[in-house]
Amino acid sequence: GNSVTQMEGPVTLSEEAFLTINCTYTATGYPSLFWYVQYPGEGLQLLLKATKADDKGSNKGFEATYRKETTSFHLEKGSVQVSDSAVYFCALRVGGAGSYQLTFGKGTKLSVIP
Amino acid sequence: DTGVSQNPRHKITKRGQNVTFRCDPISEHNRLYWYRQTLGQGPEFLTYFQNEAQLEKSRLLSDRFSAERPKGSFSTLEIQRTEQGDSAMYLCASSITMGFDPNEKLFFGSGTQLSVL
């Protein structure tokens, strides 16, 4: 089946530190990969995505590269801000046979302190 | 565009009672999903609708769960004879898409938190 494994949190960083959240996956087909973010009290929001190997998704200073050879989609940001404090979810979707569901990892809680 | 709206935000019920949640998707979004999220876990897929047709149901969706989207607009999720294991956040998401689109963008609501005592 399909599954996503994320590094466990919580992760606490000082403002302007470098962020990496690891994500690896297994999939029965060729997946599209996503990072979603959940700010306190809000719904999940799409942060970035990549739909084929070697694609780089980017948004708000965050980046992730679709690595088929290592089945990974690690999230990075060069300098985090307090406003980046949230829970981050890695997810995949494998199309086919009418199945459009997203498979999520468990989430990684990030806290950024001033 | 007011976003995806879910009601109620919180629901506390006793074991054995029935509960119903409502989701209002973004206007004209033709696809609607239900997910369930328990503490410390990522969301898990329950079911989805294309317009009014329910096209896929997860094995997680037992016979006690039923979802409807009668006119292809709002949707309801009913849980009958609730159990303590049903305690979770129930999330709704919508999109405007047809078929499989790798660029499909889901918009999630803030969820309904269910607590079964």
Provide the token pair at A73: 């989609």
- Residue from A51, A11, A12, A26 nearest A105 by CA: A26
Closest partner residue to B109 (CB to CB) among A43, A105, A106 is: A43
Decide if pLDDT at B101 tops 90: no
- Three state DSSP letters for B7-63: ECCEEEECCCCCEEEEEECCCCCCEEEEEEECCCCCCEEEEEEECCEEEEECCCCCC
Q: What is the pLDDT of residues B61-98, one digit of tens each?
A: 889 999 999 988 999 999 999 999 999 999 999 999 88
Distances (CA, A) of A111 to A12, A37, A98, B31: 5, 13, 38, 34
Tokens 């992760």 — which residue? Answer: A11
Q: Is the pLDDT of residue B1 over 60?
A: no
Q: Residue B103 and residue A100: Cβ atoms within 8 Å?
A: no
Give the per-residue pLDDT at A28: 86
pLDDT, one tens digit per residue, over B35-52 is 999 988 999 999 999 999
What are the CA-CA distances from residue A95 to residues A27, B45, B102 (Å)? Answer: 11, 14, 8
- For B51, the token pair is 């317009």
pLDDT digit string, tens, across residues A21-55: 999 999 988 899 999 999 988 889 999 999 999 99
Asked if B42 and A96 come within 8 Å (Cβ–Cβ), the reply is no
Burial of A71 (C-beta count, 10 Å sphere; 0-12/13-18/19+): middle
Is 70 exceeded by the pLDDT of residue A3? yes
pLDDT at B97: 87
Cβ of A74: how many Cβ atoms within 10 Å?
A: 18
Q: Is the pLDDT of residue A96 over 70?
A: no
- Residue predicted with more confidence, A10 or B100: A10
From first CA to last CA, the distance across chain A in angstroms is 41
Contact A106 B40 (CB under 8 A): yes
Looking at the predicted structure, is the pLDDT value of residue B2 above 80? Answer: no
Mean pLDDT, chain A, whole residue set: 93
Instruction: Return the pLDDT at A98.
Output: 58
User: What was the pLDDT predicted at B19?
Assistant: 98
Q: Are B53 and B46 in contact (CB under 8 A)?
A: no
Give the chain A residue whose CA is nearest to the CA of B56.
A99
| Min distance B54 CA to chain A CA atoms (Å) | 12
Whether pLDDT at A103 is above 80? yes
pLDDT of A44 = 93
